[in-house]
């Protein structure tokens, strides 16, 4: 297979973890005789520093001409005082909306060896396997008006939560289709006791559910869901939710897996072109130290091979290789403490190399 991948390392630990993911892409494509052309683009704070624009035209073009996009992370304290439109994070929002990537998939599954890396007790964790289907191009992130202005002599700020029926319907279909291939349960998460958007959300989700009689639907308020994710995560199969709730709940769910450095994501639209990224950010507190966990980014490559290229065997091999390395007790710093399975603390680079060598040898 011949594919073009746009790679956007970004800021902070972004370049460190993406470097490991590129190694994985290279060994995998060599092993399976795929021709992969990688083009790197500058994005986020790095692009602001060089071009005064978080998503320069050149980077957009690289993405446009590619079959899929891999992104590290953007943002950091250096750019925190810029206006919303000029911030590094704006690049991410432009990529998501520009390519119409409305469906953000965030799978949460547990590697048994990491159970003790999580602060949650073992009995609640074994067998947890769910996926958050997060609406990604609507809600508070994009609603207009979005501004800060003076009113009656004081500064006021406005964000607008807006959802259209069509936006809710298309993401609901993604969730129900996903559930059909899994444990056939959708938990739709909203705040319908308070928000108009959530009441419309609930109504449309119920309409869509009628087309999937084999899938059970339940509704849950977001505050309760936040509690249930740590109280009894095994109850979930597919969590369907809007943009902001999905952002917050997925960081919370990361705790179950042992570290936010473990969680990958895929952002998809109507075509095969997707944006793949770890759910974590640029982690300025550990950037440049070669300690960041690259697994979330490496697992995002597995999602890319699965969803954008339909190469399931390759995706599975990445996932099996990650599992193998963990089962041997090689952990990055974030996973190491209090875990009896931990044998050796490894750096970002070492973790990338270990996973690559297992892939080369066949996991």
Under the rule (CB under 6 A), what is the footprint of ligand IPM? 75, 89, 92, 247, 279
Q: Is 92 annotated as a binding residue?
A: no
Options 123-131, 157-165, 245-253, 301-309: segment touching Mn ion (CB under 5 A): 245-253
Closest separation between CB of residue 214 and ligand NAD, Å? 34
Partner from ligand NAD, Mn ion, ligand IPM, none contacting 242, C-beta within 5 to 8 A by type:
none
Prior bond to 275 cis, omega within 30?
no
> SS3 of 311, please?
coil
Partner from ligand NAD, ligand IPM, Mn ion, none contacting 293, C-beta within 5 to 8 A by type:
ligand NAD
Which of 237, 247, 277, 314: binder of Mn ion (CB under 5 A)? 247
Residue with smallest beta-carbon separation from Mn ion: 247
Write out the DSSP string of 173-224: HHHHHHHHTTTSEEEEEE-TTT-HHHHHHHHHHHHHHTT-TTSEEEEEEHHH
Options 54-62, 88-96, 244-252, 297-305: segment touching Mn ion (CB under 5 A): 244-252
Closest separation between CB of residue 247 and ligand IPM, Å? 4
Partner from Mn ion, ligand NAD, ligand IPM, none contacting 91, C-beta within 5 to 8 A by type:
none
DSSP β-bridge partners for residue 187: 218, 239
Strands 264-268, 103-109: pairing is antiparallel
Question: Is the sign of the CA dihedral 125, 71, 238, 138 positive or negative?
Answer: positive
Number of residues that bind Mn ion (CB under 5 A): 1
CA distances from 151 to 59, 156, 158, 168, 170 (A): 39, 7, 11, 33, 38
- CA angle, 265 then 267 then 273, to 5°: 125
Residues lying near ligand NAD in the complex (CB under 6 A): 13, 17, 73-76, 89, 92, 259-261, 277, 280-286, 292-293, 296, 334
Partner from ligand NAD, ligand IPM, Mn ion, none contacting 283, C-beta within 5 to 8 A by type:
ligand NAD
CA–CA separation, 37 and 292 (whole Å): 26
Q: Which residues are catalytic?
A: 141, 191, 223, 247, 251
> Which residues, including other chains, have CB under 8 Å from residue 136's CB and lie 6 or more apart?
96, 101, 102, 103, 104, 243, 246, 267
Q: Label residue 100 left, alpha or beta by phi (over 0 means left) and psi (-120 to 50 means alpha).
A: left
Q: Is 96 annotated as a binding residue?
A: yes
Name the residue nearer to ligand NAD (CB basis): 28 or 136.
Answer: 136
CA–CA separation, 171 and 189 (whole Å): 13
Name the residue nearer to ligand IPM (CB basis): 89 or 113.
Answer: 89
Q: Is 340 annotated as a binding residue?
A: no
DSSP 34: -
**Residue set of the binding site for Mg(2+):** 223, 247, 251
Binding-site ranges for Mn ion (CB under 5 A): 247
**Residue set of the binding site for NAD(+):** 76-89, 281-293
């Amino acid at each position: 297979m011949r594919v073009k991948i746009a790679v956007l390392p970004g800021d902070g630990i972004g370049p460190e973890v993406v470097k490991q993911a590129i190694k994985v892409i290279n060994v995998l494509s060599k092993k399976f005789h795929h021709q992969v052309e990688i083009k790197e683009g500058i994005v986020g704070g790095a692009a602001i520093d060089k071009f005064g624009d978080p998503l320069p035209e050149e980077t957009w073009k690289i993405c446009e001409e590619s079959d899929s996009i891999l992104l590290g992370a953007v943002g950091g304290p250096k750019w925190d005082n810029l206006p919303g439109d000029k911030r590094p994070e704006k690049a991410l929002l432009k990529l998501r909306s520009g390519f119409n990537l409305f469906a953000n998939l965030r799978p949460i599954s547990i590697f048994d060896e990491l159970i003790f890396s999580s602060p949650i007790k073992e009995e609640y964790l074994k067998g947890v396997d769910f996926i958050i289907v997060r609406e990604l191009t609507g809600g508070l992130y994009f609603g207009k008006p979005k501004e800060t202005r003076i009113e009656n002599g004081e500064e006021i700020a406005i964000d607008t939560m807006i959802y259209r029926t069509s936006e809710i319907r298309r993401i609901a279909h993604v969730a129900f289709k996903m559930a059909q291939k899994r444990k056939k349960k959708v938990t739709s998460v909203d705040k319908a006791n308070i928000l108009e958007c959530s009441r419309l959300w609930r109504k449309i989700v119920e309409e869509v559910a009628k087309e999937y009689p084999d899938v059970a639907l339940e509704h849950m308020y977001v505050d309760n869901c936040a509690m249930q994710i740590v109280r009894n995560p095994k109850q979930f199969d597919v969590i369907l939710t809007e943009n902001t709730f999905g952002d917050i709940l997925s960081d919370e769910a990361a705790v179950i897996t042992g570290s936010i450095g473990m969680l990958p994501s895929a952002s998809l639209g109507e075509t095969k072109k997707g944006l793949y990224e770890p759910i974590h950010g640029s982690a300025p507190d550990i950037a440049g130290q070669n300690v960041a966990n690259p697994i979330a980014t490496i697992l995002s490559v597995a999602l890319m091979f699965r969803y954008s290229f339909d190469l399931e065997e390759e995706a599975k091999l990445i996932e099996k290789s990650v599992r193998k390395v963990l089962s041997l007790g090689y952990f990055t710093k974030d996973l190491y403490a209090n875990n009896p399975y931990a044998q050796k603390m490894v750096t970002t680079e070492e973790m990338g190399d270990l996973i690559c060598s297992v892939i080369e040898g066949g996991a």
